[in-house]
Amino acid sequence: MADQIPLYPVRSAAAAGHKRAAYYSSAGPGPGADRRGRYQLEEESAHLDEMPLMMSEEGFENDESDYHTLPRARIARRKRGLEWFVCGGWKFLCASCCDWLINICQRKKELKARTVWLGCPEKSEEKHPRNSIKNQKYNVFTFIPGVLYEQFKFFLNLYFLVVSCSQFVPALKIGYLYTYWAPLGFVLAVTITREAIDEFRRFQRDKEVNSQLYSKLTIRGKVQVKSSDIQVGDLIIVEKNQRIPSDMVFLRTSEKAGSCFIRTDQLDGETDWKLKVAVSCTQRLPALGDLFSISAYVYAQKPQLDIHSFEGTFTREDSDPPVHESLSIENTLWASTIVASGTVIGVVIYTGKETRSVMNTSNPKNKIGLLDLELNQLTKALFLALVVLSVVMVTLQGFAGPWYRNLFRFLLLFSYIIPISLRVNLDMGKAAYGWMIMKDENIPGTVVRTSTIPEELGRLVYLLTDKTGTLTQNEMTFRRLHLGTVSYGADTMDEIQTHVLSSCSQVALVRWTESVGLTLVSRDLTSMQLKTPGGQVLTYCILQVFPFTSESKRMGVIVRDESTAEITFYMKGADVAMSSIVQYNDWLEEECGNMAREGLRTLVVAKKSLTEEQYQDFESRYSQAKLSLHDRMLKVAAVVESLERDMELLCLTGVEDQLQADVRPTLEMLRNAGIKIWMLTGDKLETATCIAKSSHLVSRSQDIHIFRPVTSRGEAHLELNAFRRKHDCALVISGDSLEVCLKYYEHELVELACQCPAVVCCRCSPTQKAHIVSLLRQHTGRRTCAIGDGGNDVSMIQAADCGIGIEGKEGKQASLAADFSITQFRHVGRLLMVHGRNSYKRSAALGQFVMHRGLIISTMQAVFSSVFYFASVPLYQGFLMVGYATIYTMFPVFSLVLDQDVKPEMAILYPELYKDLTKGRSLSFKTFLIWVLISIYQGGILMFGALVLFEAEFVHVVAISFTALVLTELLMVALTIRTWHWLMVVAEFLSLGCYVASLAFLNEYFGIGRVSFGAFLDVAFITTVPFLWKVSAITVVSCLPLYVLKYLKRKLSPPSYSKLSS
């Protein structure tokens, strides 16, 4: 097959080999390094090595390797030596050492298969984990060290810790201890308190789940036991509507049929109930207590991630001969699922960390916003400037005396270049944004659970969403029935009434048949009864049931009519699977397309009559296949397929899973905002495609490329090349094919998928969802947001930069694990367009303004020291410095959190404005440099102005320059604000009032440092006209040019939003 599909020509095998070598060597150590060895073993795809997968039509026209010219998925060439060490190599080495130590301390226990004796936990050979759920990040011992590490890994905080500690050394002491330790202590106190509250809430939620009581069966009867005290081997009784506490093998049920239904929506996101069958040997025992009178054990495979498969055996030793029963997925009850019918008894096989639900959930991690990372980079640049400035000062001194001590004193004098109030202001700002989001009446019920990343909402490029319960309401309605010659719909047939149901398409169909007169009277594992419109009861004996699997995409049943003894094989399934099984017809494909375009989930129903001989032959082959130990599933499937030929097509049905309110306009708004939407669902491919079309995730004019199932590298290669030739089409891919492609062509697949307008991944396990999110973050470097409503979405939500949970029918698990919790999908629009925009814009303005505040005073200190023969003497003493960063300027600066550039209505009406935010232009090196230049200009003007104008009254320089400085800061806040709020005006006048009032008390500080020789503030002098006009002149010179520049900029090149607001 590979030979028949033309690939683009390759210039020469040598060139191809050269390119491939470049690709693999540049990938460095890790998975890429061992890939070549593995590939060479694959005979069937050996020739593919001569044809690297091409990403562009030009193929290999360039000499440089294609992989280095990919737009996003560039593979960084390895840096060597010192360059590598400086550019983050030291971080890598530290992390490696820490990982090594952690691995030594907590060696992971190897997971093994196990033998579990019924009701005898003490017989267990291995020690198994406790059955407790733990979502906490810390414990009693790690809390303080953990929180301090999270704080001091930021360069800003670590720098201030060093500066504060240096003040304990007498030779380096610059000012009062409180001027350094008070702000640092405040930052740490706020952080520790916030983390402690969050941690306590998590502890309470865990305690609630772990304390749930269950009935445990013992020789002495039933005893109550906490969920966290359940052990491997315990016999646990679970009532209807109760959560299953651990992974169990299903032994008995109160239902006569020996089966029960469970709800798995918290595990795999699927809403249809799953039928589970009890082990027949234990179900047949006369009484419950007899479980202790037999000697039996379960052999279970080692714990693993796959929630859709299980292999094991049940053995009863004390019978003659011993009874062996094979166990499969239908005999298991996984933790976090809910019993929907009857009472069940199971034997616990996996607990705690080894249960399927916990293995599919990732550990919560501390999320750090992109804005915080950008500010961290800027503080490093400021630190570099600080060191350079100090070295220049010491050099100009001529390295006189103990120059190294002077160098350190200069570093401390200019330490205000990096303001500690930056963290205080930003953290308070984040808390304010969180409060505003929760108080927004347009998105009621929204909860901010992680208060550290509200700005992330304004930087998102990828939105990854679940389907069931997130985009849809999780409610099915029967809409259409097509019989080949005639089609019935809700609008054309009076008897058809639409029924809203909370389960799935099967229930919708059963309810509908009841509405037109055919009623299901009873149904158990072996028989079913139907009542016709005429009142006649038909009884059928159920001979075989073939459950739905994601591979077969169909399910079937063989029944015998009790009155006529006729044997019939009925089958229903997806049109893709059924079209090749049914007899030739000319309408099925066309009608399926019509229903799919309406967004309906289609089911094809067919039948086949069997003779007694045909059935007996089938049954013997089927039983034989079910007992085989090797390739059991393949052999069983092959036997069933022998029946699935030439079936008679009965009808086609269409069922609708209704979308949530306003999903279409919300998705359209997000698309217009430049956000790429990916749908990750555990549901079937056909259903996912239907919802993608009906929700307009994929627009009507767009093509859809359904990625064919692939199992090997060769198939993946060919299918990727076929997909590459498509342009501007949405991609639909299944979890299995995705796994194969990521194994061999990770870069290429992600690169191609990122160019698609929309991507749908179906049959995704919870771990795969999280893996896709991590891949997107890693390959594109863009911000991702994951949104879901079920327990199966928790890993994805925690892996994304920003996780949003919806409180829905699938419970609160997702909303509790998320950073933001909402009640409806449509609220995402306002959350991102309005609150995301405001949080990012305000924090960017606030961060840069606080830096400006530190830079301007450091510039003045530098000018002052230069004039005084480069003396390392502080310009402003003690309280002046603390007051400058707090009461004199804090309120106006903090009032920037109320600023907005665009009205909320405008932001929603023109979502295109959001595209600008993702480019990160509000806070960049360019804007930062502009603020640095402004600070140097203003600091220089204020200091030189004070020195030039006040030669006669030299001792008053400090008072004059400080007054002008405070006035300049207040005017600069006014210059930065885009939309005035009454609180901003109050803040400006309050700060000015505080400063004027404090002049009377702070006269001792207004001398020139320690060389003031008792020069105190002359109150009479402050009230003179020369003082007032000179201060006014300096302030005007420092601010007026900036006002003029701002006016000209708005006139000549106004920002996009100003055109709308005008």
pLDDT of residue 1043: 92
**678-714 pLDDT, tens digit each:** 999 987 787 788 889 889 898 878 889 999 999 999 9
| pLDDT class of 656 with cuts at 50, 70, 90 | confident
Q: Calculate the alpha carbon distances from 742 to 118, 689, 728, 729 in Å.
A: 42, 22, 22, 20
**Percent of the chain beyond pLDDT 70?**
83
Q: Higher confidence at residue 47 or residue 529?
A: 529
The two counts, helices (H) then strands (E), for the chain are 38, 31
For residue 32, pLDDT beyond 50: no
**What is the C-alpha separation between 175 and 230, in angstroms, rounded?**
61
pLDDT of residue 412: 86
Count of Cβ atoms closer than 10 Å to residue 617 Cβ = 13
| Closest by Cα among 749, 722, 656, 734 to 695 | 656
Residue showing tokens 């194969």:
740
H or E stretch covering 618: helix 612-627
Three-state DSSP class for 568? strand
pLDDT of residue 73: 37
| Active site (catalytic) residues | 466
| pLDDT class of 560 with cuts at 50, 70, 90 | very high
Q: Is 646 exposed, middle or buried (0-12, 13-18, 19+ CB in 10 A)?
A: exposed
The listed range with the strongest mean pLDDT (57-71, 588-602, 635-649) is: 635-649
Give CA 358 to chain center in angstroms. Answer: 17
For residue 277, pLDDT beyond 50: yes
pLDDT of residue 190: 79
pLDDT of residue 14: 41
| Helices 837-867, 925-949: crossing angle, 10 deg rounding | 40
Two tokens, residue 312: 């094991």
For residue 992, pLDDT beyond 50: yes
Contact partners, residue 993, CB within 8 Å, separation at least 6: none
Beta bridge partners of 542: 559
Q: Calculate the alpha carbon distances from 19 to 24, 33, 898 in Å.
A: 9, 15, 55
H or E stretch covering 940: helix 925-949
pLDDT of residue 775: 94
Two tokens, residue 624: 């034989």
Q: What is the pTM for the complete model shown?
A: 0.72
**What is the C-alpha separation between 941 and 923, in angstroms, rounded?**
26
**What is the C-alpha separation between 919 and 917, in angstroms, rounded?**
5
Out of 11-15, 134-138, 711-715, pick the least confident. 11-15
| pLDDT class of 497 with cuts at 50, 70, 90 | very low
pLDDT of residue 797: 93
For residue 1012, pLDDT beyond 50: no
Task: Give 614-617's long-range contacts (Cβ < 8 A, gap of 24+).
Answer: 614/567, 615/543, 615/558, 615/567
pLDDT of residue 516: 78
Q: How far apart are the first and last CA of the chain?
A: 63
| pLDDT class of 332 with cuts at 50, 70, 90 | very high
Q: What is the mean pLDDT of residues 988-1004?
A: 80
325-337 residues labelled b (16+ CB within 10 A) or e (exposed): bebebebbbbbbb
HSE, CB side, 13 Å, CA atoms: give it for residue 96. 6
pLDDT of residue 1045: 93
**What is the C-alpha separation between 97 and 89, in angstroms, rounded?**
12
Q: Calculate the alpha carbon distances from 253 to 136, 256, 281, 282 in Å.
A: 36, 8, 12, 10
| Closest by Cα among 726, 739, 807 to 767 | 739
For residues 850 and 422, the answer to whether their CB atoms sit within 8 Å is yes
Cis ω for the linkage preceding 892 (within 30 of 0): no
Three-state DSSP class for 266? helix
Contact partners, residue 626, CB within 8 Å, separation at least 6: 326, 632, 636
Q: Calculate the alpha carbon distances from 803 to 205, 364, 462, 548 in Å.
A: 19, 11, 12, 33
pLDDT of residue 89: 62
Two tokens, residue 771: 């893996």
Task: Return mean pLDDT, the chain.
Answer: 82
Give CA 511 to chain center in angstroms. Answer: 38
For residues 327 and 264, the answer to whether their CB atoms sit within 8 Å is no
For residue 298, pLDDT beyond 90: yes
**923-957 pLDDT, tens digit each:** 999 999 999 999 999 999 999 998 888 766 666 77
Q: What is the mean pLDDT of residues 260-272?
A: 77
For residue 518, pLDDT beyond 90: no
For residue 795, pLDDT beyond 80: yes
**Percent of the chain beyond pLDDT 90?**
41
| pLDDT class of 120 with cuts at 50, 70, 90 | confident
For residue 1015, pLDDT beyond 60: no
For residue 126, pLDDT beyond 60: yes
Amino acid identity of 988?
E
Out of 386-395, 396-405, 509-518, 793-802, pick the least confident. 509-518
For residue 30, pLDDT beyond 80: no
For residue 208, pLDDT beyond 80: yes
Q: What is the mean pLDDT of residues 1016-1040?
A: 79
Q: Is 750 exposed, middle or buried (0-12, 13-18, 19+ CB in 10 A)?
A: buried
pLDDT of residue 951: 62
Contact partners, residue 385, CB within 8 Å, separation at least 6: 417
For residue 858, pLDDT beyond 50: yes
**What is the C-alpha separation between 504 and 519, in angstroms, rounded?**
18
Q: What is the mean pLDDT of residues 814-820?
A: 88
| Helices 155-166, 178-210: crossing angle, 10 deg rounding | 130
| Helices 982-998, 957-976: crossing angle, 10 deg rounding | 180
**What is the C-alpha separation between 837 and 818, in angstroms, rounded?**
20
**What is the C-alpha separation between 601 and 467, in angstroms, rounded?**
14
Amino acid identity of 694?
S
Give CA 107 to chain center in angstroms. Answer: 28
H or E stretch covering 488: strand 487-489
Two tokens, residue 1026: 């020369």
For residue 524, pLDDT beyond 70: yes
